[in-house]
Amino acid sequence: MHDHQSRHEQHDRQSRHDHRRLGRELDLFDTDPLIGKGLPFWLPAGAAVRHAVEEYVHRAERRAGYRHVHSPVMGKRELYELSGHWEHYRDDMFPPMTVGGEEFVLRPSLCPHHAMIFRSRPRSHRDLPLRLAELGGMHRAELSGVLGGLSRVRAVHLNDGHVFCAAEDAGREVAAALAMIEGAHRALGVAASGYRLSLRGDGDKYIDDPVMWERAEAILRDALQERGLPYEEAAGEGAFYGPKIDVQVTDPAGRESTLSTVQVDLFQPGRFGLEYTGPDQRAHRPVMVHRSMVGSLERLAAHLVEVYGGAFPAWLAPVQVVVLPVSEAELPAAGDLLRSCEEAGLRAEPSGPERGTLGARIRGNRLVPYQAVIGPREAAAGQVSLRLRDGSRHAPRAAAEVVAQLRREAAVPN
Distance between CA atoms of 383 and 398, rounded to whole angstroms? Answer: 4
Co-location of 266 and 378 in the same domain? no
Task: Tally the C-alpha atoms within 13 A of residue 296's C-alpha that lie toward its C-beta.
Answer: 20
Q: What percent of the chain has pLDDT over 70?
A: 95
Distance of CA 99 to the CA centre of its chain: 33
For residue 315, pLDDT over 50 is answered with: yes
For residue 8, pLDDT over 70 is answered with: no
For residue 179, pLDDT over 80 is answered with: yes
Average pLDDT over residues 384-391: 93
Co-location of 116 and 164 in the same domain? yes
**Nearest Cα to 133, choosing from 227, 232, 236, 62?**
62
pLDDT interval class at 9 (50, 70, 90): very low
For residue 145, pLDDT over 70 is answered with: no
Contact 246, 198 (CB under 8 A): yes
Give the count of beta carbons closer than 10 Å to the beta carbon of residue 89.
18
Co-location of 287 and 215 in the same domain? yes
Residue where a domain stops, chosen among 262, 284, 308: 308
Co-location of 96 and 174 in the same domain? yes
CATH number for position 357? 3.40.50.800
Which pLDDT value is given to residue 270?
Answer: 95
Average pLDDT over residues 356-363: 93
Q: What is the pLDDT of residues 194-243, one digit of tens each?
A: 999 999 888 778 888 899 999 999 999 999 999 999 999 999 989 888 99
Co-location of 303 and 357 in the same domain? no
Q: What is the pLDDT of residues 113-140, one digit of tens each?
A: 999 999 999 999 999 999 999 999 999 9
Co-location of 234 and 332 in the same domain? no
pLDDT interval class at 150 (50, 70, 90): confident
Distance between CA atoms of 213 and 164, rounded to whole angstroms? Answer: 18
Co-location of 107 and 254 in the same domain? yes
On whether residue 228 sits in a domain, the answer given is yes
On whether residue 353 sits in a domain, the answer given is yes
The larger pLDDT score, comparing residue 193 to residue 125, is at 125
Sheet-wide strand order for 231-235: 67-68, 130-139, 155-165, 287-292, 256-265, 244-250, 192-199, 231-235
**Nearest Cα to 270, choosing from 205, 215, 191?**
215
For residue 13, pLDDT over 70 is answered with: no
Co-location of 331 and 383 in the same domain? yes
- Which segment of 74-78, 84-88, 96-100, 408-412 scores lowest on mean pLDDT? 84-88
- Domain boundaries, position 389: 321-409
Residue where a domain stops, chosen among 308, 331, 366: 308
**Number of structural domains the chain divides into:** 2
Co-location of 325 and 292 in the same domain? no
Co-location of 390 and 288 in the same domain? no
CATH number for position 56? 3.30.930.10
Co-location of 285 and 327 in the same domain? no
Average pLDDT in the chain: 91
Residue where a domain stops, chosen among 254, 276, 308: 308
Co-location of 215 and 239 in the same domain? yes
Which pLDDT value is given to residue 208?
Answer: 86
